[in-house]
Amino acid sequence: MPAPESTLLQSWHHNAQSWIEAIRTGALESRLKVTDQAILLAVQGCQPEHVLDLGCGEGWLLRAQAERAIKAVGVDGDATLVEAARAAGSWPVHVASYEELVEAEVDIGSDYDLICANFSLLHQDIIPLFAAMNALLVPGGALMIQTLHPWTAAMGDYQDGWREETFVGFKGQWQPMPWYFRTLSSWLNALDMSGFRLVSLQEPQHPQSPVPQSLLLVAERRD
């Protein structure tokens, strides 16, 4: 039986075109109403000049930052998504798996003020990746993570472990995707163990929703 991480990457290869369509047609209501704006405001609050979008997908966040005169570089593990980002005007965008980034097998640049991971940290062992990203930041640089809010996503099972996204209700042909759920303390411990200190925690929420739509963490490199 294949490891969940390999199945996760394979599901992205299968789902890439459907994902591009979903993002570009505004099919994800939570992103339109809450989370896209949340990360854009958080990035602007950091006033960066040089940003890496980790797991950039089809590049919407890269394009949004370019509109704000922020120099942004993207990286993603799926070639279809990277080509879509490039075709839409995002550059430079690199193809690299997280394992390749950990092993520094692909040069994606360095001296970043800010590294953003917007709903792109879905695998289990994130500490080596965080440590690799730490090394790409300037002194005092920051890592920004937006992810599913653990209390909202737990569905009554609040402990670290693999879950499955089936994309029920999404248009298109989708392959189920494994993803790793982690508690708030697990997120914070991973940051601490990879040389970061938390400086901001936000819980973006639509005013008409009883639960937060996401968890948004900003952690600075601990020099």
Q: What pLDDT, in 10s, does the model give residues 59-106? A: 999 999 999 999 999 999 999 999 999 999 988 999 999 999 999 999
pLDDT at 90: 86
pLDDT at 91: 87
Identify whether 105 is part of a domain. no
160 pLDDT tier (thresholds 50, 70, 90): very high
pLDDT at 159: 97
Got the DSSP string for 134-181? HTTEEEEEEEEEEE--HHHHSTT--S-EEEEE--TT-SS----EEEEE
Q: What CATH number did the domain enclosing 214 receive? A: 3.40.50.150
Q: Counting Cβ atoms within 10 Å, is residue 73 exposed (0-12), middle (13-18) or buried (19+)?
A: buried
- Domain range for 129 is 4-99+110-176+184-221
1 pLDDT tier (thresholds 50, 70, 90): low
pLDDT at 129: 98
Identify whether 86 is part of a domain. yes
Identify whether 104 is part of a domain. no
Total structural domains within the chain: 1
pTM: 0.96
Cα maximum dimension of the chain = 46
How many Cα atoms sit within 13 Å of 122 on the Cβ side?
21
Comparing 49-53, 168-172, 179-183, which segment has the lowest mean pLDDT? 168-172
Contact 115, 144 (CB under 8 A): yes
Contact 142, 52 (CB under 8 A): no
Instruction: Find out whether the peptide bond into 92 is cis, omega within 30 degrees of 0.
Output: yes
